[in-house]
Amino acid sequence: MQRENEKTYNSLDQVVLDPLFPGVDHRLRTGSHIDMDDIRSYEFLLQAEPFLQLFYEGYDCRLANGQEGYFYLLSEGDLLGHRRLSGAEMLVGQVLALLRMDPAYLKKAGQIPIEQILSHLEMLLGRQRLAEVLAPRTRGRDAEMDNRKIREAVEKAINGLARLGFLTIDRASESVIAARSIARFTEPVRDAREMSAALEELIKLGEVELDDEEQQNEN
């Protein structure tokens, strides 16, 4: 049964002429993820998906639909351009994906304090490794300076992830709420395969890039 206000499209013309198209198209092209919580945009994409797949193919792009209920655009050629997330964004994203699986945050409507992200990063990677990745230095270490740099790198990563629709930030409570799309960070470990095999497949799909040295400041 068709839901109220649900539109159907018979051609790409109709999709492009929908007032929602310019905003959604712009967000997708700038790397944003659009999920079911943004119900109007998500419904639009759901209905227009067949036409938009063809449309974006012309740009060497693929409109991907994550199984948790979110859309994003993957650019596979040079026409539209693409980038990879920074090392800090990758770490913060993975930790958020992990914390989202913790029922302890249900009580606070999924709000995860930024302090918790920092403490989990430290707990999982260890203080020294965290400093090496998030606060790289050519000369000796200074604990106070490292702490400041780690915090700055995490906050910057959170802002970057928010711009891409992976989370929303609640400035008042200094916490974040992970969106459904945060599940993208779990892709390489979704099944019991070796992680390297999963990554190989994700590279073929244009989802992931590998590097043997850290390029965390790329973005």
Partner 1 sequence: MKRLSVADSIAKTWSLDFTLQLDREDAAFLAGIHTWLAINPDPTLDEEQLRNIYRIVGEVAHNDPASSAQRATSAIARLREQRLMVRTDTAGVIRGGEYSLSLMGNAIAEWFGEQEGLTRKSLEIIMTQIRAGLGQIHLAAEAGGDDAHWESRVSGPLKLTVAQLIEGIERRQQGMDVQQEQIRERIEATLEENWFEAVMSCENLLVTTSEALEELHKVLMHEIEGMTSLLSEIEDLCEKASRTESVEAIEHVRRQIERIGAWGENRFATWSEYYQNVHEFIRSVISVDPDRAVRTRLRDAIKAYGRPLFWFLKVADQGPYVHLRTDTDIRPSQTVEREVKPAGDEIEDAGITGLPLEQTMEEIARKLQSCGQVELLEILSGLLPHHNHHEVYILAGELAEFLIRQGAPLPLHDQSWHRLGKGIEIQELTVRQRKS
Q: Which residues form the interface with partner 1 (CB under 8 A)?
A: 28-31, 61, 68, 72-75, 80-87, 90-91, 93-95, 97-98, 100-104, 106-107, 109-110, 124-125, 133, 136, 138, 163-164, 180, 183-186, 188-190, 192, 195, 199, 206-215, 217-218
Distance in Å, CB of 169 to partner 1, minimum: 14
Which residues fall within 8 angstroms of residue 181, CB to CB, at 6 or more apart?
33, 35, 66, 68, 70, 72, 165, 166
What DSSP character marks residue 192? S
- Nearest distance in Å: CB 8, partner 1: 26
Q: CA triplet 21, 185, 51: central angle to 5 degrees?
A: 25
Residue 56 tokens, joined: 């974006």
Q: How far is the CB of 66 from partner 1 (least distance, A)?
A: 11
Q: Find the Cα–Cα–Cα–Cα dihedral 129, 134, 135, 138, rounded to 10°.
A: 70
CB nearer to partner 1: pick between 8 and 194: 194
Nearer to partner 1, 14 or 156 (CB): 156
> What is the C-alpha to C-alpha distance for residues 131 and 143, in angstroms, rounded to an integer?
9
Closest CA to 205 of 72, 48, 94: 72
Whose Cβ is closer to partner 1: residue 7's or residue 128's? 128
To partner 1, the closest distance from the beta carbon of 150 in angstroms equals 15
Looking at beta carbons only, is 15 or 73 nearer to partner 1?
73
The C-alpha atoms of residue 135 and residue 157 are separated, in whole angstroms, by 13
Name residue, tokens 């109220």.
Answer: 4
Task: Tell me how far, at minimum, the Cβ of 1 lies from partner 1, in Å.
Answer: 21
Smallest gap from residue 10 Cβ to partner 1 (A)? 27
Cβ proximity to partner 1, 1 vs 106, nearer residue: 106
Of 14 and 186, nearer to partner 1 (C-beta) is 186
Cα–Cα distance for residue pair 208/219, rounded to 1 Å: 15
| Element of type H or E holding 44 | helix 39-57
